[in-house]
């Protein structure tokens, strides 16, 4: 019986290891307000983890741009403010199956908010 399991395992090919270090959860809608020297924007977070989030936006900021972000983490009653940086972006194209937007890395998010997000994301991963 054990030999059959080992034989079946060899039939599978691992194409890519999971590189994520932290759990992340999918949000339906989380309004995010950001500001920079040049302008303000509003977007909707689609995924969030203790280290960052993806914001769906038709006008994503440039990679490397830093700005202050204000959002209300899941399970917290008050909004938090932190500095973040854009680590990658996806432009809008009419034929793309993926949403335009940008991935942000939190720079100075406080530990209370990080732990609240992490706890929420781990709970979401169970379902």
Distance from CA of residue 78 to its chain's centroid? 20
What φ, ψ does residue 20 adopt, rounded to 5°?
A: -75, 135
Output the six-digit token pair for 62.
């440039």
DSSP state of 95: T
| Beta strand ranges found along 1-127 (DSSP E) | 24-26, 31-35, 40-49, 52-56, 66-71, 80-90, 101-106
- Containing H/E element for 109? none
Q: What is the third-level CATH fold of 25-125?
A: Thrombin, subunit H (2.40.10)
State the pTM of this model: 0.69
Tens-binned pLDDT, residue by residue, of the chain (127 aa): 545 544 444 444 444 444 545 555 554 345 565 555 555 666 788 888 899 999 888 888 899 999 888 888 878 888 888 999 999 999 988 888 988 999 999 999 999 999 998 888 888 766 5
């Amino acid at each position: 019986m054990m030999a059959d399991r080992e034989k079946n395992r060899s039939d599978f090919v691992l194409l890519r290891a999971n590189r994520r270090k932290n759990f992340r959860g999918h949000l339906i809608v989380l309004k995010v307000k950001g500001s920079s020297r040049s302008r303000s924007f509003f977007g909707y977070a689609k995924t969030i983890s203790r280290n960052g989030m993806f914001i769906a936006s038709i006008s994503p900021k440039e990679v490397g741009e830093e700005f202050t972000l204000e959002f209300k983490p899941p399970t917290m009653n008050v909004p938090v403010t932190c500095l973040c940086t854009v680590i990658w972006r996806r432009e809008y194209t009419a034929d793309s199956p993926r949403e335009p937007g940008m991935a942000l890395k939190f720079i100075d998010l406080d530990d209370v908010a990080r732990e609240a997000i992490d706890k929420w994301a781990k709970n979401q991963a169970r379902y």
